[in-house]
Structure 1
């Protein structure tokens, strides 16, 4: 049975890996890819999504342009984390098409009306597009089968402020509106994949090398901390080559900021949960987002003890089998790359 997913993303490096994972997963029907500003501006996000789809031979998947800015504040981006185009050192392949004529909020509304109770929403960037859609159509949450959000950090340090995670902090109002719209009146409880779990999803150069082996790409490169910064992959497989160039940038960022040559790949894990929520252990809570705190704006606050007198509106992802996840990720993306073949050669 296929798993129909609507992906809403701000395509940086781990978003790119999540997109490839969804494209390669045999059980997934990617109903649409919705683009929002976040890691990079929205036009870059659209271009990245179109390019990855073209590279994977999936020009049939609709790409919709979404919000240029958050609901109530100016946009902040993080090219230092994901590179000037959002894909690290990777060369964005040329693509032959443009985004859909319908916007991302329209797509959320129309797709869920066409297929009520079937679609799984996966938001791995700011919640702006979904919040705008819910403002126009408050019944939308009840038409989703499931919603998975990568964002927040529950009783855990933030990665952008001491208490706030990037996706939520980019648009706290949107995260607040989405969380408060779900979990009641027949709408499903979203599964929140926050830093408290996703920072355990640590990808290493060895995972990437194994992926290249599955793809049949040569040479099998093992990125390392002593590599010259900005060195480009010579892999024969086009998907592996670009993924290696993207992840090398991400490894370097984490080396500079987290002290290890690895990468937290938050978004592919959220994608895995969207496909099969049984891979994660969750606990219910009332979740909301702090909007006015001088020091705590953007913090996801969890009430697990009934202080607010409200029924739980969300599920906090708290445990998973990390090794099993990476085995599936490596096999799925490696097989996608193998099946696509070498692809276009790198530019001289």
Structure 2
């Protein structure tokens, strides 16, 4: 471990692109992953928790604990996106079963970790709805205040949404949680659709990953190809969640803007949409530009063992 090692917890709802992001972090020498906490999002909590364990088993990292978290949003009904991620959440791609059973109560586990570790020593890499982090803020504010940095995939600023005209899945799945987290004063970087839709894998990209013969790269290729089977149109697919790991590792590939962000907490189809509101918004660092070619190059290198 070096002074530049990113010690982090991954909070996730795997999920095809979550799996690729996790495999990136596990393959990169830059990250020291201390645990994987799960949240209901792309599919139910039992399946997201099992999938986290399966991904770690593929990577040979049964030493990293999986801790089951929130089974539902704070106050809303969640979404079902099995049509995109498959009934198993991983597009039907074969993964080994978890090497060890999961732990329970992600919020208590996170609080304990943050209080034991040096203040400002742990990043949270959030790939799903922010329910666990909102509960941490509400139930253990001192522990939440010890987070070094929260990097979260979510939202859309200038881009259209993917579950509503302006609403993105992760924020729309639990708008109240996002609102709590954004107002909590944590060092936060939001990675919205404005950049994640620019980081796109083609079939040639997945073929090159598969040809490496490396397990993480081949599994990622199969996962991305499953996206092609479950969605129609276009010659490429966006890699949303891997952008969190890419930003954590190489923030120079992204351009940040500090924006006053407010979350739509209404009941209309755009619940969870982000508004740039100078009166009601909270200043958040938002990634708005990305060098997509270099980002894809880095992702492929890490997945391939480089």
Q: TM-score, normalization: structure 2? A: 0.93
Q: 1:220 maps to what in 2?
A: none
2:182 alignment counterpart: 179
CA offsets, 1:1-35, max 9 Å, x none? 21101110000100000000000001110011011
For residues 124 and 148 of structure 2, the distance between their equivalents in structure 1, rounded to whole angstroms, comes to 8
Match of 1:135 in 2: 138
Aligned partners of 2:176 and 2:265 also within 8 Å: yes
Corresponding position of 1:332: 302
Of 262, 281, 290, 2:255 maps to: 281
Structure 2 distance, partners of 1:133, 1:307, is 27
CA distance in 2, matches of 1:50, 1:295: 34
Against the structure 1 CA distance between its residues 276 and 244, is the aligned structure 2 distance closer, same or farther, given a 3 Å change threshold?
A: closer
Please give the residue correspondences for 1:59-98 in structure 2 after superposition, counting only pairs within 5 Å: 59-98=62-101
* Cα deviations by residue, 1:105-132 (Å, 9 ceiling, x for unpaired): 1122112112221111111100011111
Alignment of 1:247-326 (within 5 A): 247-254=224-231, 256=232, 259-292=233-266, 294-303=268-277, 306-308=278-280, 312-326=282-296
**CA displacement at 1:89 relative to structure 2:** 2.5
| Structure with the bigger percentage of strand | 2
User: Which residue, 97, 110, 113 being the options, matches 1:111?
Assistant: 113
Equivalences for residues 119-268 of structure 1 within 5 A: 119-182=122-185, 187-188=186-187, 190-213=188-211, 215=212, 217=213, 238-254=215-231, 256=232, 259-268=233-242
- CA offset at residue 295 of structure 1? 4.3
Computing the radius of gyration over CA atoms, which structure comes out larger, 1 or 2? 1
Does structure 2 retain, via aligned residues, the 8 Å contact 1:252–1:261? no
Per the alignment, in what secondary structure is the counterpart of residue 76 of structure 2? coil
| TM-score, L = length of structure 1 | 0.82
Q: Specify the alignment match of 1:225 in structure 2.
A: none
Q: C-alpha separation between the residues in 2 aligned to 1:122 and 1:197?
A: 17
Preserved contact between residue 209 and residue 221 of structure 2 (Cα < 8 Å)? no
Structure 2 CA distance for aligned equivalents of residues 294 and 56 of structure 1: 41
Unaligned runs of 5+ in 2: none
Contact preservation (8 Å) 1:156, 1:195: yes
Partner Cα distance (2:254, 2:216) in 1: 29
Aligned residues: 302
Corresponding residue number in structure 2 for 1:234: none
Please tell me whether the aligned partners of residues 217 and 300 of structure 2 are also in contact (alpha carbons under 8 angstroms). no
Q: Distance in 2 between matches of 1:139 and 1:199?
A: 35
* 3-state SS of paired residue (1:120): strand
What is the deviation of 1:252? 2.4
Do 2:49 and 2:102's aligned partners in 1 also have CA atoms closer than 8 Å? yes
TM-align CA RMSD:
1.7
Classify 1:210/1:299 alpha carbon distance in 2 versus 1 (closer, same or farther; 3 Å): same
Aligned to 1:221: none
Residues of 2 paired with 1:270 and 1:160: CA distance?
Answer: 20
